[in-house]
Amino acid sequence: MNRIVLLLLFVSFLQNCKAQSNCSEITVKARVIDTLRPQSFYHVVVFNKSRGTAMFGQPDGWFTVQARLFDTIVVSVKEYPKETFIVNEEISCRLNKVIVLKYKSKKLNEVILRPIKSAAEIKEERQKLALGKTRSVTGIDVLQSPITFLYETFSQKERSKRWVAEARFADKQRELLKEYLRTCNSYNLISIDEQEMDDFVDFMNMDLNFFRSASDYGLALFVKRKFQEFKSR
């Protein structure tokens, strides 16, 4: 029984080979599809590498090309990796094929999402903005603590501590001002890119006392006027 089955399979194989050998050309009818993003394709190019020929496909993804057995076919679609297949199967000198495209992955820049604070939140924070206290002797205290005054004047450590505190305060003020600019952006008061903010902050050179005590209207008016000057440079 097993021998009969094997014999039938062998005969079928020979018949298939004979049928293939009778096909001088094979009509390949195929279609490219994107299962994740159905769309029309306006840049489908089909290359027969074995023959050195090329043709364009239809906007719906269909194309028909004449090929020989074992020809190499390359399908190129804009924004997708190339797809390659070999003409190695046919029935009655025809080959039907569906090519599922895989979208080309892109490496995107990191995007940082920042929550937009309300004007009231910004106002509360800017009113609290103050330089943290560092040990310092000035004015009348100089007479009461001359040794401490001399120590602070000549001590590199104390000068470094004060510099660090001032630098941190400047950074805090700068970040709060940038938060305010983002809020202005969300209200369409100005239209500024994230990359421009540092330059605009430097350009404004905003006085701390004004930033801390200005009314919402006064601060918004100042920023809008300065932004117009910044853009018209």
- Is 214 part of any domain? yes
Tell me the average pLDDT across 87-100. 84
Residues in the chain: 233
Contact call for residues 109 and 66 (beta carbons, < 8 A): no
Average per-residue pLDDT for the chain: 77
Q: What is the pLDDT of residue 118?
A: 76
Contact call for residues 73 and 6 (beta carbons, < 8 A): no
Residues 150 and 74 in one domain: no
User: Domains in the chain: how many in total?
Assistant: 2
Residues 85 and 156 in one domain: no
CB atoms within 10 A of CB 165: 14
Residues 132 and 206 in one domain: yes
Contact call for residues 179 and 115 (beta carbons, < 8 A): no
Residues 190 and 123 in one domain: yes
Whether 37 has a pLDDT exceeding 80, the answer reads no
- Tokens representing 103 are 């979208």
Name the least confident of 47-61, 113-127, 188-202: 113-127
Residues 87 and 133 in one domain: no
Name the least confident of 113-117, 174-178, 228-232: 113-117
Residues 53 and 139 in one domain: no
Q: What is the pLDDT of residue 148?
A: 56
- Is 170 part of any domain? yes
- Is 1 part of any domain? no
Residues 222 and 134 in one domain: yes
Model confidence band, residue 124 (pLDDT cutoffs 50, 70, 90): confident
- Tokens representing 153 are 């004047």
Q: What is the pLDDT of residue 213?
A: 86
- Is 112 part of any domain? no
- Is 3 part of any domain? no
The CATH number of residue 32's host domain is 2.60.40.10
- Is 49 part of any domain? yes
Q: How many CA atoms lie within 13 A of 95 on its CB side?
A: 26
Residues 204 and 151 in one domain: yes
* Residue with the larger pLDDT of the pair 191 and 5: 191
CA distance 101 to 199: 45
Tell me the average pLDDT across 95-110. 78
Residues 82 and 129 in one domain: no
Contact call for residues 1 and 70 (beta carbons, < 8 A): no
* Residue with the larger pLDDT of the pair 149 and 73: 73
| One-character DSSP codes across the chain | -HHHHHHHHHHHHHHHHHHHHT-SSEEEEEEEE-SSS----S-EEEEETTTTEEEE--TTSEEEEEE-TT-EEEEEETTS--EEEE----BTTEEEEEEE--PPP--PPP----PPPPHHHHHHHHHH--PPP-----TTHHHH-HHHHHHHHH-HHHHHHHHHHHHHHHHHHHHHHHHHHHHHHHTTS----GGGHHHHHHHH---HHHHHH--HHHHHHHHHHHHHHHHT-
- Is 110 part of any domain? no
Model confidence band, residue 224 (pLDDT cutoffs 50, 70, 90): very high
Domain of 89? 24-100
Q: What is the pLDDT of residue 45?
A: 92
* Residue with the larger pLDDT of the pair 128 and 82: 82
Q: What is the pLDDT of residue 203?
A: 93
- Is 46 part of any domain? yes
Last residue of a domain, one of 100, 130, 147: 100
Q: What is the pLDDT of residue 143?
A: 52
Model confidence band, residue 83 (pLDDT cutoffs 50, 70, 90): very high
Residues 36 and 76 in one domain: yes
User: For residue 182, what are the contacts with CB-CB under 8 A and spacing of at least 6?
Assistant: 114, 116, 117
Whether 104 has a pLDDT exceeding 80, the answer reads no
Q: What is the pLDDT of residue 132?
A: 53
Q: How many CA atoms lie within 13 A of 28 on its CB side?
A: 28
Contact call for residues 48 and 65 (beta carbons, < 8 A): yes
Whether 88 has a pLDDT exceeding 70, the answer reads yes
* Residue with the larger pLDDT of the pair 130 and 54: 54
